[in-house]
Amino acid sequence: MAHSASNQKLTTDVLVIGTGIAGLTAALKLAQSHSVILLAKSQVTEGSTNYAQGGIAGVMDPFDSIESHIEDTLDAGAGLCDLKAVTVVASHAKEAINELIELGVPFSKHRAENRHNRFPFHLTQEGGHSHRRIIHAADHTGFSVIDSLIKAVKQNPNITLLPEHISIDLILNRKKNRCLGAYVLNKNEQKIYDIAAYFTILATGGASKAYLYTSNPDTSTGDGIAMAWRAGCAVGNMEFNQFHPTCLYHPKDRSFLISEALRGEGAILKLPNGTPFMKQYDSRADLAPRDIVARAIDQEMKKHGVDCVYLDISHKPEAFIKEHFPTIHQRCLKVGIDITKEAIPVVPAAHYTCGGVVTDLEGQTSLKGLYAIGETAYTGFHGANRLASNSLTEGLVFAKMASQSIEKAFSLLSATDDFDAIRSWDSSRTTEPSEKILITHDWDEIRRVMWDYVGIVRTNDRLKRARKRLRNLHKEINEYYRQHPLTSDLLELRNLLMVSELMIMSAQRRKESRGLHFNLDYPHTHKKAKPTILRPK
């Protein structure tokens, strides 16, 4: 078991930061033979995985093929996917999904009269997929997966679960280019701990909270990406932030995702007057990849001067809708929309960070002892646009790859006295701020700047303006950070600013339009695709 030491120090074999599908899976695998501390900066369930409705992509049907999954992923990634990364994920997806089935995740099954012997579970199809290969638990897949994983974690005596603990920065041995754990703030006690670990895994999710409108929970502030950057790690493809085409547009509920699975089952996007419009943009119409659909909606809203468009599945039988989409049906009813009888008002919203901390195909960063998995990492898997339901698959597969790599590394680990040299966090020179309006004001300003200038459609002038505005905030926020005691809000603001700057810097480097990055000053796509890699100076 992990154990405490003097001076508010903890030591463990492995520190896992983040309790989404990637972090929980890695913790469970490594806890079979090692002590693990597992950090959640809020409640254990409060991560993006919990809100994932659609499902997990993997080749489970004998009429489908791994080659087809690879091809669909490459196509959606607009030429920027790393073929090796795509092959690793597509090849290991079935095994990872089967482990969840064995864990007891209640995936939806075919009705008895439609059940085939070859595979009892219902598979759906989503935009960009050429086959039905999305296994799901109705429309609450993420919740069901997280529920099963957390139950297993809580039963494992080798895992110390610490909710309401937010990481501040990584503990480093600069001479050895090694990560030794992290400094962590206990939000409830307002105490700072040094957590020493032989191996640290960043599984903190993405950074879509950088935008004013997002489908993500409040926890998606890019903490792992920002910490890794400050520690000297490279980041890749941060300009590619996916906007989910269909987020509920309603004054009482603006962050609820309307799953792509609706369009997979026949829902149609329409203008307020009831006219379908997606065929004008792509031959696949409503089943086109997300970047195409999000830009189409954005263009139609601007062209017609409307606040939203509508997603209509009311032509399907009422029983079908209630069976396949119970969560969406109930959530919409709460705000007065009956999706069995009327269309759903929707707008695009920031949804998924395709870039992140550069790692190899085992999740290793350039810093010894530090791994990054899931949405925090850039492996080259997603390229310039994520294919629907590939995210949970990636989290599962790279959790396994990182765990296997760490197991091997433990066998080669020599005795170290590095932990004894760790300096405790010093906050003795800080003073309480006279007012805290700066944090809330700067938080709002960052998100509005990103939404207005670094959104679905960009220009050089917009990016330049955004960079200038955030550069001014950078000095102000860093001064505040040095002078005052740490709080969760301050740490998230600092990280959000960092990842926002990385997104802008990456977007300015790309002199073309590709996938999720569309710049009106560079509307064409280069013949040769290259990732955008930024390295700290």
The angle that helices 66-76 and 83-103 make with each other, rounded to 10 degrees, is 120
Nearest to 136 by CA among 272, 362, 323: 323
Residue 356 three-state SS: strand
* CA 5 to each of CA 82, 192, 193: distance values in angstroms, whole numbers, following the listed order: 44, 13, 10
Q: How many residues does the chain have?
A: 537
DSSP state of 422: P
Say if residues 389 and 86 touch (Cβ distance below 8 Å).
no
Q: Which of 133, 263, 290, 458 is catalytic?
A: 290
In the numeric block, which tokens belong to residue 55? 């499902």
In the numeric block, which tokens belong to residue 433? 């701020």
Question: In this structure, what is the dihedral angle of CA atoms 350, 354, 359, 362, given to the nearest 10 degrees?
Answer: 100
Q: Within 13 A of 191's CA, how many CA atoms are on the CB side?
A: 8
- Give Dmax (Cα) for the chain: 70
Give 3-state DSSP helix, strand, coil % of the chain, rounded to 5. Answer: 40, 20, 40
In the numeric block, which tokens belong to residue 340? 């069995």
- Pairing between β-strand 377-378 and β-strand 356-358 as defined by DSSP bridges: parallel
What is the rounded CA–CA span in Å between residue 265 and residue 245? 16
The DSSP bridge partners found for residue 166 are 185
Cβ atoms within 10 Å of 254's Cβ, excluding its own? 15
Q: Which residues contact 236 (CB under 8 A, 6 or more apart)?
A: 355, 356, 358, 378, 380, 531, 532, 533, 534
In the numeric block, which tokens belong to residue 137? 């638990």
The three-state (H, E, C) secondary structure of 35-104, written as one string:
CEEEECCCCCCCCHHHHCCCCEECCCCCCCCHHHHHHHHHHHCCCCCCHHHHHHHHHHHHHHHHHHHHHC
Residue type for 54, please? G
Q: Within 13 A of 262's CA, how many CA atoms are on the CB side?
A: 29
Say if residues 229 and 269 touch (Cβ distance below 8 Å).
no
What is the rounded CA–CA span in Å between residue 380 and residue 77? 9
Helices (H) and strands (E) in the chain, counts: 13, 19
Burial per residue of 332-365, b for 16 or more beta-carbon CB atoms within 10 angstroms, e otherwise: beeeebebbeebbbbbbbbbbbbbbbbbbbbbbb
In the numeric block, which tokens belong to residue 296? 């189409």
Residue 494 bears catalytic tag? no
In the numeric block, which tokens belong to residue 171? 């503990």
DSSP state of 375: G
What is the rounded CA–CA span in Å between residue 369 and residue 406? 8
- Active-site residues, by number, are 290
